[in-house]
Structure 1
Amino acid sequence: MDVRRLETLLLLSRRGSMRAVADETHTTTSAVSQQIAALAREAGIALIEPDGRRVRLTPAGRRLAEHAVTILAALEAARLDLDPSAEPAGTIRVAGFGTAIRRSLMPVLSRLAADHPKVRVRIHEHEPAEALSLIAADDIDLALTYDFNLAPATPDRSVVSQPLWSTEWALGVPATDPVSGDPEHSAAAVFARYRDHDWIVNSRGAADEQVVRTIASMAGFEPLVTHRADSLALLQDLVVAGLGIGLLPADQPTRPGVRLLPLRNPCPILRTSAVVRAGRTGWPPLALLLSLLQTVPARV
């Protein structure tokens, strides 16, 4: 139904005559009558009936006028919600991996609550592939994802990515291992020492496994992937138990029994991004959150 015709019907219900509506809208009674007649055709039912020399709304007309109040209010709310100059308001659906949620999102939530109470955030923990699928299905508004410099994400024109922070990764091995991590040695040289070991990779994403296989190929061997774990804490437990070795972030403390061997030339670097659907960055609540995420210090 045409919004302007709904506005005319609502005015008629409140002013009581087409003349009053015409005066308020600076038009003619004929134009008002035409608007109501066109709306009646859209609705498929009579909306007004004669009342002496005037008209009055039929029961159907009164019900439609009541609906018009809700419809017009919702449209105004939508207009304000999308107005770049308006106070940001709305619910942002965010999906991301745990580290990015803790490191990037959590620090800004208190600022959002204090300075922009009309903006709400719903958080879902997902690995990048899962989060990107949710973005594609329009089930979320923002994805916090990662890739590696040695396993870059495939470009996608349907989304816009905003870099957040990055961190180097190292090889996690048992602390009792006699092999030392010489910074002068290349990553391939470090990997070559562990060609006969079992390897641990992520169970829900392929990026770190691709990094492992890339560096191993430079060292001339195919790694034996024996265990898969989504949790970095579990990966460390497996390392301590002597069940394998795997990649871990170099800027995070490890549990007792795990030692990190630095990797150079090449050095695996995990890169995080805030990803939104193309064309959505102008939505005020999302634009606000994206700008706040940029204020979180980036560390390499």
Structure 2
Amino acid sequence: MDVRRLRMLLELSRLGSMHEVAGALGTTTSSVSQGIASLAREVGSPLLEPDGRRVRLTPAGRRLADHAVTILAAVEAARLDLDPTAEPAGVVRVAGFASAIRRSLLPAIDDLRSTHPRIEVRIHEYEPLESLDLLARDDVDLALVYDYDLAPAEWRDDHVVSPLWDLEWGIGVPTHDRHLALADLADRDWIVNSRHTADEDALRTLASRAGFVPHVVHRIDSLELVDDLVVAGRGVALLPRGRASRRGVSVVRLRDPEVRLRAYAVTRRGRGGWPPLRAVTERLVTG
């Protein structure tokens, strides 16, 4: 099989459009179409099927695209072994939660712009479960996710997990209640994340150790909206310490146990050797 045609197929699986593939590879849409048609003849199986006015990969096409990741990474590794000055190039799709995008990914993109200008990073904002689902379907190349030390994530066998950083969390309460202990909040309404269960799991672990079951009333994704509800007396919630919360909100430190959010970069096994993805991941891990 011609590796150039394999790259066309892989990019089509990533980008979903022959026009975008042509732009990414610096060729024409007609060349992409002809290349994938030739690849289908080489493997003896249809690789594309109609999808309205567009096309999509057949099951055989998706399987071959999965193989192409490993094949092209091996070819690229061999090339780089002989040419250490080779420049990584390609589109890296990243799904992650907002804090990791702001704190880790955006600075990494700024650095990569000068060191590896041919790498393009496309950002999708999702909560961890959503990001990992996209990663499993190969809809993204890298997931930025989090868990809590009191509610550790369950990783799949094909996950390659790289720790990034951790952050202390506490209980966000109205400022006039900042001297209360966790047990004093047993009768309050609680606010948890609407798109991920980790903070609710951590909260329930904390509450059980303090001898109560939290009354979860509100499910909110935006920390700013959580601040508003806390100020309005509508509930209390786990919030990050050190963040500039709205005036009127205090984040009480927790001890014995404390709560820490832990951020990770996750790729799928066998994918991390792809040079553009490796460059992005290494920059994230080294900070």
Tell me the CA shift for residue 117 of structure 1: 1.1
Q: Is the 8 A contact 2:191 2:235 kept in 1?
A: yes
Amino acid at match of 1:249: P
Q: Which residue of 1 aligns with 2:266?
A: 275
- Residue in 2 that maps onto 1:200: 191
- d(CA) in 2 for partners of 1:100 and 1:131? 12
> Relative to 1, partners in 2 of residues 1:200 and 1:89: Cα closer, same or farther, differing over 3 Å?
same
CA deviations 1:55-92 (Å, max 9, x no partner) are xxxxxxxxxxxxxxxxxxxx99x955984443111000
Which residue identity does 2:165 align to in structure 1?
Answer: W
Aligned to 2:224: 233
Amino acid of the structure 2 residue aligned with 1:275: V
Matches within 5 A, 1:218-229: 218-229=209-220
1:91 aligns with 2:91: yes
Deviations 1:195-236, CA, capped at 9 Å, x for gaps: 000000000000000111111111111110010100111111
5+ unaligned residues in a row in structure 2: which ranges? Answer: 4-40, 43-70
- 8 Å CA contact 2:77, 2:273 repeated in 1: no
Report the RMSD for the aligned CA atoms in angstroms.
2.4
Matched, 1:289 2:280: yes
The aligned counterpart of 1:17 is: none
Residue 113 of structure 1 aligns with an amino acid whose one-letter code is R
Q: Distance in 2 between matches of 1:238 and 1:3?
A: 59
The 3 A distance-change label for structure 1 pair 208 and 220 is same
Contact kept? 2:76, 2:274, Cα under 8 Å: no
SS in 1 for 2:106: helix
Q: What residue is the counterpart of 2:15 in the other structure?
A: none
Matching residue of 2:202: 211
Q: Are the counterparts in 1 of residues 191 and 237 from structure 2 also a CA contact under 8 Å?
A: yes
Per the alignment, in what secondary structure is the counterpart of residue 287 of structure 1? helix
Size of the alignment, in residue pairs? Answer: 219
Closer, same or farther in 2 for the Cα pair 1:3/1:293, shift >3 Å? Answer: closer
1:147 corresponding residue in structure 2:
147
Map of 2:240 onto structure 1: 249
- Match of 2:139, SS? coil
CA distance in 2, matches of 1:295, 1:80: 23
What is the CA-CA distance between 1:260 and the residue it aligns to? 1.2
Give how far 1:163 is off: 0.2
Tell me, yes or no, if the aligned pair for 2:173 and 2:252 is still in contact at 8 Å: yes
Secondary structure in 2 matching 1:169: strand
Q: Deviations over 1:170-197 (max 9, x none)?
A: 00000122x516xxxxxxxx22100000
Higher Rg of the two aligned structures: 1
Measured in 2, the distance between the counterparts of 1:135 and 1:80 equals 22
Shift, 1:153, TM fit: 0.3
Distance 2:262 2:242 in 1: 13
Cα distance in structure 2, aligned partners of 1:123 and 1:117: 17
Question: Where do 5+ consecutive residues of structure 1 fail to align?
Answer: 5-41, 44-74, 182-189
1:98-146 deviation digits (Å, cap 9, x = unpaired):
0000000011111111221110000000000000000000100000000
Question: Alignment partner of 1:294: what SS?
Answer: helix
* 2:264 pairs with 1:265: no
Q: 1:82, 1:284 within 8 Å by CA — same for their partners in 2? A: no
Partners of 2:76 and 2:275 within 8 A in 1: no
Query: Per the alignment, in what secondary structure is the counterpart of residue 156 of structure 1?
Result: coil
1:129 alignment counterpart: 129
Q: Distance in 2 between matches of 1:265 and 1:83?
A: 53
- Residue by residue over 1:253-286, the C-alpha shift from the partner in whole angstroms, topping out at 9 and shown as x without a partner, is 2110001110011111000000000111111111
* Structure 1 contact 81–90 (Cα < 8 Å) conserved: no
Normalising by structure 1, we get a TM-score of 0.69
| Alpha-carbon offset, residue 295 of structure 1 | 2.9
